[in-house]
Chain A
Amino acid sequence: MTEKRRTRVVLGEVATRRRPADRARADLAEQTPLGEALVRGLVRAQLALALRLALVVVTGLGALPLLFAVAPAVGQIKIFGVSLPWLLLGVLAFPFLFCVGWAYVHWAERNEQDFIAVTRRPE
């Protein structure tokens, strides 16, 4: 009943003889300086994107309490009989957050596709 585990035997030479298209991937896997630079670039692009969109939310929503405190008149504006703070916080904040999220997903996936394109680029 003792089944031996199947082992895979690969010739040493084959492993070193890669097609050019795989060179960038190999750079990634072996963490050569080039591969590391590629990953650093991706991380930086994604972080910059996230921070930029976070800034949009911080200025869009985060400034509101300060605005209402500094200029109370803004809080008393009424639109269709509903006062502005209620409309902004009770209704409009949610579609705003969703749109920012949608933009992030869109651009983050594009960053990743660019990254994949770079690693697949024929030399």
Chain B
Amino acid sequence: MNPYVVPGLVVVVLVTVGIGAYGLRFARTTSDFLVASRSVSPAWNAAAISGEYLSAASFLGVAGLILRYGVDVLWYPVGFAAGYLALLLFVAAPLRRSGAFTLPDFCQVRLNSPALRRLATIFVIFIGCLYLVPQLQGAGLTFTTVTGGSYVWGALLVGLVVTANVALGGMRAITFVQAFQYWVKLTALAVPVIFLILQWQSDGRPPVTPPAGEIFPAATTVTVEQGATLTVDGQTRVVRAGDELTFAAGDPVPQVSTVDSNVGMDWLLPGGDGTLFATYSLILATFLGTMGLPHVLVRFYTNPDGASARRTTLVVLGMVGMFYLFPTLYGVLGRIYTPQLLMTGRTDAVVLLLPEAALGSGHLGRLLGALVTAGALAAFLSTSSGLLTSVAGVVFTDVLHAGRGGSVRDFRLATVLAAAVPLALSIYVANMDVSRVVGLAFAVAASSFCPLLVLGIWWRGLTDIGAVAGVLSGGGTAMAAVLITVLGPPLAGWPAQMVGQPAAWTVPLAFAVMVIGSLLTRNRVPADVNATMLRLHTPESLRLQKTA
């Protein structure tokens, strides 16, 4: 085992807890816990938002997907970044000016409907859990990959550190912790990449897609985990679970029947008509889903005003975009140095394994390996902290009915409640695909909160009944698609595409139902809609006290 990994992980956990404890000195009131008293500067806030957003799916999953499927999945990082542009264009400043601090709060401000508020609460908790479970699972899997320890301990460790940190420090501490973790994550990917590219140069620039197919760069032993058929040069061979296969340097990489991956030109070139629906669905889900993620939205309430919310979002767009340049390089270099992952299907581990595979197991390779592992831990910690804070905030105000006058102790109780369910789920539900579940969370958010926010902010005609109908139809069907994908039987053909990537039809459905429902119930447009529009769209410097 790599001797530098454990010290690296310990440092990240200690600094996280340390900054959390430092932030605790400033967190005195309930407001500090929930929204950092709305006094965080754009630079800090942007680093915190980016740190919170770049989850296990971004840090590990994107590189793994690229290793496996090639150019078609580059839409994941592009969409994850473009989501912030949609957020900036349509939501950032008005949402901050609404003065609400959770999504259910926004429903209250805009439509004053208790039913919609309850519905929004359910969706926040559902999306939060859907996003939190794979984070904890990813933590468990990384723990197993790197240390050989048990999966349960990895998930529990991250779960407990995060719960303690959120419960003790709340939002104020989290802001500093996450800003720190953005830089940890960026460094952990950027520094090894320099050495990896130098190594690739000195190896004589081996081609990423050799004409004769992928080859092993060094002697490799692969342990087969489940029975499968291997195909090499047109010859097939059946292997059983537990078999050990040894390959010499330069041997071609066999294709494994149980692992779905693209080879050769399919990997290098964009897919044809067959993938068009899935590609557009993915684009729609990621572009529009970001604005509906509860842990992203709750951050915007910590900006002092609407203009700074806009600037913060722009800085986030730059920071997130800069980060996503690196996973692609890991995926591409993984094709050369870690082709055995294509056989085992554990492509999510490529970021963790690449430094040692390419640079050898000398001090340099091991140090860089420890660095990326520490970055992965930072990714789990920050995203799960943010998710937990936002879900706990909603549980605190809407389930415990604490209201703004609630005590810090109530917030801590809410945190423990919000953490317990996903933690238990992540331990008992073992084999969910990390990046796919995260993609589904985006689809649910894009088909429920995105139409609600966009229409609520820009269209006076939205009514509570229209909004409820839209969220139920669009978000409800997306939720059903998620449950079928995760729990149901495997599907084939068109139904598989429609259910596996539902956004292309659930998002338009939600928008259409919301608009038609509102037009049919036109008499229910809130009486104070003009006052609300004034508040959402005019700069704070003109903020007028109503002459009451």
Interface residues of A (CB under 8 A from B): 15, 25, 28-31, 35-36, 39-40, 42-43, 46-47, 50, 53-54, 57, 61-62, 65-66, 68-69, 72, 75-76, 83, 85-86, 89-91, 93-95, 97-98, 100-102, 104-105, 108-109, 112, 115-116, 119
Contact = CB atoms under 8 A, between A and B. Distances in A.
29 contacts: A28-B538, A31-B530, A42-B538, A53-B89, A54-B90, A65-B283, A68-B269, A68-B270, A69-B270, A72-B269, A75-B270, A83-B71, A85-B71, A85-B269, A85-B270, A89-B71, A89-B74, A90-B74, A94-B78, A97-B78, A97-B321, A98-B318, A101-B85, A104-B310, A105-B310, A116-B539, A116-B541, A116-B542, A119-B542
B538 A75 contact: no
Interface stretch (B322-330, B382-390, B410-418): B322-330
A38 B312 CA distance: 27
Dominant secondary structure at the A interface: helix
B interface, by DSSP: helix, strand, loop or mixed? helix
A102 B88 CA distance: 10
B71 A97 contact: no
Contacts of A69: 270-273, 276
A8 B77 CA distance: 56
Contacts of A83: 71, 268-269
Nearest to B537: A43
A97 B322 contact: no
Nearest to B205: A81
Contact of B531 (A31, A42, A119): A31
Contact of B270 (A46, A65, A95): A65
Given A104-B85, A109-B307, 5 more contacts: A43-B537, A89-B71, A94-B81, A105-B310, A109-B310
Contacts of B280: 62, 65
A97 B78 CA distance: 9
Nearest 7 CB-CB pairs, A to B?
A94-B321, A68-B270, A89-B74, A50-B89, A29-B544, A90-B328, A65-B279
Interface residues of B, number: 50
B75 A89 contact: yes
Interface in B251-304: 268-273, 276, 279-280, 283
B533 interface: yes
Given A28-B544, A30-B547, A94 B268 contact: no
B317 A97 contact: yes
B88 to A, nearest CB: 5
B349 to A, nearest CB: 21
Interface in B62-115: 71, 74-75, 77-78, 81-82, 84-86, 88-90, 93
A4 to B, nearest CB: 21
A94 B311 contact: no
Contacts of B538: 28, 39, 42, 112, 115
Q: Which of B270, B307, B534, B542 has the most CB of A within 10 A?
A: B270
Contacts of A75: 269-270
A86 B325 contact: no
Contacts of B404: none
